[in-house]
């Protein structure tokens, strides 16, 4: 998941001590704090379950290195057995029961076992176990890849699909997905063409790796005297290596570049760093990208598509390159007037300070300068209002009240570390168990370094009607409590934590019958939308007060003025920031939807057109240092903006006037979260909104919350 943060919370002293509910309540603000604490009170009252008693949970915890490798072998053996059995079915004897059901149930049964092998790589405290987990993942991945290329299984599934046996819509969609997966591997082609598909796939992988490796290997740096780095904090300068002549060495790693472009007062320095950054791997990666794009187009044509973007978008919500290009151009043109106003303000500020003409390298510095002048926000001091346990209790209350859920912590749950906590989630009305989730919140050596949600078990319904409940893991990177002082969260960590909790609820509330459509296995253009919707609760005064409180007196929530400033800060210079992202998305989409494009000239042409006249920085070649279009997001860079646009439409249309409106929340749960990947995303959103989703609300929000409104 762009993915894309961290967070946690506190109530009294450390991380929500087990059984401790005593909160000092004084004054009028205590009433609000008491309401917030009810979520945790409900949790702490029920700590009687044991991990071994968990209903329908097949994920295995704390396997040794040898157990992981043995389990991986058993997974592969069982999978081969089922695939062989399906392949042996005579083509005139195919039925749902002997072809489709075995494959679907294999996926459901094996997914938690596969995750039992793979997840230790992310969270185990043992280096030996992490290595075994990585080895098991390679073996399992190779096996899964080989299964998707089995012509004998494809022929049997194809025979069943052609038979036209009646199925429900979800089963029909499952068969369609099986067929598409086989055919996207070339199994509907001749043997010669299939070999060419595999050769091109290997070439694409090699070129993608080379592009990224070139950037990783780049060791370019720029030397500056101390006075040329004016504005950068002394703590930052201490981290810089010094050359023999005493000058400071600024590398082109992102954390160095961002610091210089945002904080350095010297325009010439910012320009030199930005130019060096934009020239990285210029000739080498331009050549690699040209070959890579050509190989992708050849690959797509072999599979029956006009171009690579058409191939990449076919299974996604956006569907076609023309739809994506129209979407990006509409967003860009709708924000041009606002972007021009934003740019004029920045140019005027720079003009007052003299120096060089305003360039793209000045954006970060002058945006920060205006934000400091316009908003009374000290984000460092703001941490004091976000003790980890209080943030977590507030998030629990929001999700329980909004979606009709009940969280119960499981005492002494089996886990890989003492910091890890586990919860059951029930439907508040019926008491039905919806699933479980782990919280693994704190930094430690060897742990995966990003914040994310990992599906450990997907919900599904077996052929005999038995339901397997979902299980999720939220991984974060918070600092542990130190010397009795609670862990305090940066505001960005609060937003990230609420976002990731959105994914947890999305996973647990999914009611798809097939594991393939359950949990977070939904359209990649859709998967971020629910969590993006829920981020908005971090910018509304009512909900911000539920998740905040001064760490030395939690009855003092964040002030109204700060809430308003955070919302305005969220939208400051948002048109220029978004247009910069649109620029790269357009570039990515165009090179993957048209052939024989001059990549360098394309960027040079697009830059001033999208960036309201700002030219590309002279001598740079952004195409040579844009890894998202080389690996991972090729022809799909637009997807983050897509999610944000439709999330804005949902929040503003349905939630803004009732942040804890359970009627709307339950509609969202049943109409948006429950179908999962079993239903077309546009149908899902249209059903919830009562109309097709629109970009207009997103645009209106940007304009209404801008500095000029």
DSSP string, 218-283: ---EEEE-GGGGTTS-HHHHHHSEE-TTS-EEEESSHHHHHHHHHH---HHHHHHHHHHHHTTTHH
The encoded tokens of residue 475 equal: 């991984």
The encoded tokens of residue 662 equal: 């359970």
How confident is the model at residue 131, as a pLDDT?
97
Q: Examine the domain organization and report whether 114 and 244 are in the same domain.
A: no
Q: Examine the domain organization and report whether 448 and 542 are in the same domain.
A: yes
Number of residues that make up the chain: 709
Q: What is the CATH number of the domain that holds 124?
A: 1.20.1050.40
Is residue 31 pLDDT above 70, yes or no?
A: no
Q: What is the mean pLDDT of residues 453-458?
A: 96
Q: Examine the domain organization and report whether 268 and 402 are in the same domain.
A: no
Band (118; pLDDT cuts 50, 70, 90)? very high
Out of 541, 570, 599, pick the residue that ends a domain: 570
Is residue 145 pLDDT above 60, yes or no?
A: yes
The encoded tokens of residue 159 equal: 């025979």
CA–CA distance, 677 with 530 (Å, rounded to integer): 13
Is residue 82 pLDDT above 60, yes or no?
A: yes
Classify residue 43: in a domain, yes or no.
Answer: no
Residue-wise pLDDT tens digits, 259-315: 999 999 999 999 999 999 999 999 999 999 999 999 999 999 999 999 999 999 999
Rg (CA), the chain: 27
Out of 171, 188, 205, pick the residue that ends a domain: 188
Number of domains in the chain: 3
Q: Examine the domain organization and report whether 541 and 393 are in the same domain.
A: yes
Classify residue 30: in a domain, yes or no.
Answer: no
The encoded tokens of residue 17 equal: 């001590």
Q: Known catalytic residues?
A: 500
Band (698; pLDDT cuts 50, 70, 90)? very high
CA–CA distance, 148 with 234 (Å, rounded to integer): 55
How confident is the model at residue 10, as a pLDDT?
27
Residue owning tokens 């209106």: 700
Classify residue 179: in a domain, yes or no.
Answer: yes
Is residue 333 pLDDT above 90, yes or no?
A: yes
How confident is the model at residue 18, as a pLDDT?
32
How confident is the model at residue 55, as a pLDDT?
80
Q: What is the mean pLDDT of residues 167-180?
A: 95
Q: Examine the domain organization and report whether 88 and 184 are in the same domain.
A: yes
How confident is the model at residue 227, as a pLDDT?
96
Q: Are 652 and 701 in contact (CB under 8 A)?
A: yes
Q: What is the mean pLDDT of residues 568-584?
A: 95
Is residue 445 pLDDT above 60, yes or no?
A: yes
Classify residue 411: in a domain, yes or no.
Answer: yes
Is residue 44 pLDDT above 80, yes or no?
A: no
CA–CA distance, 28 with 167 (Å, rounded to integer): 59
Classify residue 593: in a domain, yes or no.
Answer: no
Is residue 1 pLDDT above 50, yes or no?
A: no
Out of 188, 207, 228, pick the residue that ends a domain: 188
Q: Examine the domain organization and report whether 397 and 463 are in the same domain.
A: yes
How confident is the model at residue 51, as a pLDDT?
47
Q: Examine the domain organization and report whether 471 and 555 are in the same domain.
A: yes
Q: How many CB atoms lie within 10 A of CB 216?
A: 10
Q: What is the mean pLDDT of residues 87-116?
A: 96
Is residue 451 pLDDT above 70, yes or no?
A: yes
Band (380; pLDDT cuts 50, 70, 90)? confident
Q: Examine the domain organization and report whether 406 and 512 are in the same domain.
A: yes
Q: Examine the domain organization and report whether 84 and 133 are in the same domain.
A: yes
Domain limits for position 257: 219-278
Q: Examine the domain organization and report whether 562 and 424 are in the same domain.
A: yes
Q: What is the CATH number of the domain that holds 417?
A: 3.40.390.10
How confident is the model at residue 500, as a pLDDT?
97
Q: What is the mean pLDDT of residues 481-502?
A: 87
Looking at per-residue pLDDT, the higher value among 15 and 110 belongs to 110
CA–CA distance, 646 with 648 (Å, rounded to integer): 5
- What share of the chain has pLDDT > 90, as a percent? 82
Classify residue 406: in a domain, yes or no.
Answer: yes
Give the N- to C-terminal CA distance of the chain in Å, as an integer: 34
Q: Are 311 and 300 in contact (CB under 8 A)?
A: yes
Q: What is the mean pLDDT of residues 394-419?
A: 95
Q: Examine the domain organization and report whether 388 and 243 are in the same domain.
A: no
* Mean pLDDT value across the chain: 90
Residue owning tokens 């009252």: 45
Classify residue 202: in a domain, yes or no.
Answer: no
Q: What is the pTM of this model?
A: 0.90
How confident is the model at residue 708, as a pLDDT?
67
CA–CA distance, 611 with 532 (Å, rounded to integer): 26
Q: How many CB atoms lie within 10 A of CB 29?
A: 17
Q: Examine the domain organization and report whether 97 and 242 are in the same domain.
A: no
Classify residue 690: in a domain, yes or no.
Answer: no
How confident is the model at residue 284, as a pLDDT?
95
The encoded tokens of residue 92 equal: 């005139």
């Amino acid at each position: 998941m762009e993915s894309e943060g961290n967070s946690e919370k506190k109530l009294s002293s450390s991380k929500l001590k087990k059984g401790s509910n005593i909160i000092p309540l004084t004054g009028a603000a205590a009433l609000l704090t008491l309401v917030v604490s009810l979520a945790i009170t409900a949790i702490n009252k029920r700590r009687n379950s044991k991990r071994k008693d968990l209903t329908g949970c097949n994920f295995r915890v704390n396997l040794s290195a040898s157990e992981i490798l043995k389990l991986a072998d058993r997974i592969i053996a069982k999978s081969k057995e089922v695939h062989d059995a399906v392949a042996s079915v005579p083509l005139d004897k195919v039925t749902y029961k002997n072809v489709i059901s075995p494959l679907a149930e294999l996926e459901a049964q094996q997914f938690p076992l596969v995750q039992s092998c793979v997840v230790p790589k992310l969270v185990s405290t043992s280096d030996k176990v992490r290595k075994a987990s990585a080895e098991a993942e390679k073996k399992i991945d190779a096996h899964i890849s080989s299964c998707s290329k089995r012509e004998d299984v494809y022929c049997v599934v194809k025979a069943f699909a052609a038979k036209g046996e009646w199925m429900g819509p979800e089963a029909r969609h499952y068969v369609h997905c099986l067929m598409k997966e086989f055919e996207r591997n070339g199994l509907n082609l001749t043997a010669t063409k299939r070999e060419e598909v595999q050769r091109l796939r290997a070439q694409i992988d090699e070129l993608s790796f080379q592009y990224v490796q070139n950037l990783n290997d780049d060791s370019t740096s720029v030397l500056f005297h101390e006075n040329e780095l004016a504005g950068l904090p002394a703590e930052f300068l201490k981290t810089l290596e010094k050359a023999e002549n005493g000058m400071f060495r600024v590398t082109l790693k992102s954390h160095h570049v961002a610091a210089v472009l945002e904080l350095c007062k010297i325009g010439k320095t910012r320009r030199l760093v930005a130019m060096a950054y934009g020239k990285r791997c210029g000739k080498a990666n331009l050549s690699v990208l040209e070959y890579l794009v050509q190989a992708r187009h050849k690959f797509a044509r072999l599979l029956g598509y006009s171009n690579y973007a058409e191939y990449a978008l076919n299974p996604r919500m956006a569907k076609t390159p023309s739809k994506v290009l129209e979407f990006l151009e509409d967003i860009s043109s709708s924000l041009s007037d606002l972007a021009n106003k934003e740019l004029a303000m920045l140019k005027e500020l720079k003009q007052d300070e003299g120096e060089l003409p305003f360039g793209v390298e000045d954006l970060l510095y002058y945006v920060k300068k205006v934000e400091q002048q316009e908003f009374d926000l000290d984000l460092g001091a703001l941490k004091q209002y976000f003790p980890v346990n209080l943030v977590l209790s507030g998030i629990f209350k929001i999700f329980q009240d909004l979606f009709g859920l009940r969280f119960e912590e499981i005492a002494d749950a089996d886990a890989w570390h003492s910091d890890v906590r586990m919860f059951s989630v029930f439907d508040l009305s019926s008491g039905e168990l919806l699933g479980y989730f782990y919280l693994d919140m704190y930094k430690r050596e060897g742990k995966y370094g990003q914040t994310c949600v990992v599906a450990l078990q997907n919900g599904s319904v077996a052929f005999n009607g038995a339901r397997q409940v979902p299980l999720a893991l939220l991984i974060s990177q918070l600092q542990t409590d130190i010397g009795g002082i609670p862990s305090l969260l940066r505001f960005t960590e609060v937003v990230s934590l609420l976002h990731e909790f959105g994914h947890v609820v999305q996973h647990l509330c999914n009611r798809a019958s097939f594991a393939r459509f359950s949990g977070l296995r939904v359209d990649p253009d859709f998967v971020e939308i629910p969590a993006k919707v829920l981020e908005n609760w971090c910018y509304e005064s009512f909900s911000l007060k539920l998740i905040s409180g001064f760490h030395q007196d939690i009855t003092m929530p964040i002030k109204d003025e700060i809430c308003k400033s955070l919302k305005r800060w969220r939208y400051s210079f948002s048109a220029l920031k978004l247009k910069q992202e649109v620029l790269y998305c357009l570039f990515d989409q165009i090179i993957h939807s048209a052939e024989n494009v001059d990549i360098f000239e394309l960027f040079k042409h697009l830059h001033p057109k999208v960036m309201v006249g700002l030219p590309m920085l002279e001598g740079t070649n952004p195409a040579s240092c844009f890894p998202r279009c080389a690996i991972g997001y090729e022809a799909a860079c637009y997807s983050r903006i897509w999610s944000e646009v439709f999330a804005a439409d949902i929040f503003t249309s349905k939630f803004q006037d009732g942040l804890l409106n359970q009627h709307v929340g339950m509609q969202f749960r049943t109409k948006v979260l429950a179908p999962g990947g079993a239903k077309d995303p546009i149908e899902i959103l249209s059903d919830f909104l009562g109309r097709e989703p629109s970009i207009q609300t997103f645009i209106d929000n940007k304009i209404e919350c801008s500095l000029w409104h």
